[in-house]
Amino acid sequence: MNTCKLLLPSCMISLLCVPAFGQFSFTQPERLFLEVEDGKIEKPFKVTALADAGGNQVVTLKDKTNKKIGKVPGSEFYEGSIEFKINVKKGGEYLIWLRKRWEDGCGNSVFCTINKAMTLKDALVLGEDGTHSKLHWIRLGNKPFHLKEGVNTIRLQNREDGINLDMLAMIEFEEDVPLDEQYVPTGAEKANIKPL
Ligand SMILES: [Ca+2]
Ligand SMILES: [Ca+2]
């Protein structure tokens, strides 16, 4: 780049040299997508077909299921979990997204933990938004979560029935970009990882 400085005025340097720097020093953030139906699924969750879903399938918990099964005595949760063990090549801070279709306001959330056992103390609520009856992406909370290099475990747990879970996205957080201007997944993104 010293050659540029010698031969060109500074306005020319900014036009010619900076894009070249940018091209070589900037790496794209990681964007990982997986199908929920590829997780380790425990009843009463089950895989069902849904047009427009990623892989044309979702994991469904039928409405009114929890009324029938109730909570196991001594258990904090309704029965039914989905576990994903995923291999992350680049450790860092990630925003976690779920593509889902809620049936109504009494079926619009699921518990989630990242690299933690499912306990009431550590369970995060994913959902509780007002978009029902269509496939839609929702972010887990208002902050990124740490995913380490290597195997990470994401768990979902039955909180309410009447839900359809389609895809998960793990989007590497960009420190220089405001939270609400970060990359938002749209539509059925193409799955690019499979749980182990
Ligand atoms: Ca319900
Ligand atoms: Ca799917």
Q: What is the pLDDT of residues 89-133, one digit of tens each?
A: 999 999 999 999 999 989 999 999 999 999 999 999 999 999 999
Instruction: Quote the ligand 2 centre to 47 CA distance (angstroms).
Output: 9
| Ion ligand 2: residue ranges with CB closer than 5 A | 35, 53-55, 57, 166
Domain ranges in the chain?
28-181
Q: Is 163 left (phi over 0), alpha (psi -120 to 50) or beta?
A: beta
pLDDT of residue 72: 87
Cβ contact 113:136 at 8 Å: no
Nearest ligand (C-alpha, residue 167): 2
- CA–centroid distance, 159 to ligand 1, in Å, is 9
3-state secondary structure of 68: helix
Q: What is the Å distance from ligand 1's center to 60 Cα? A: 12
DSSP assignment letter at 78? B
Q: What are the pLDDT digits (tens) for 126-177?
A: 999 999 999 999 999 999 999 999 999 999 999 999 999 999 999 999 999 9
Q: Which CATH class is domain 28-181?
A: mainly beta
Look-up: residue for tokens 């990359």?
183
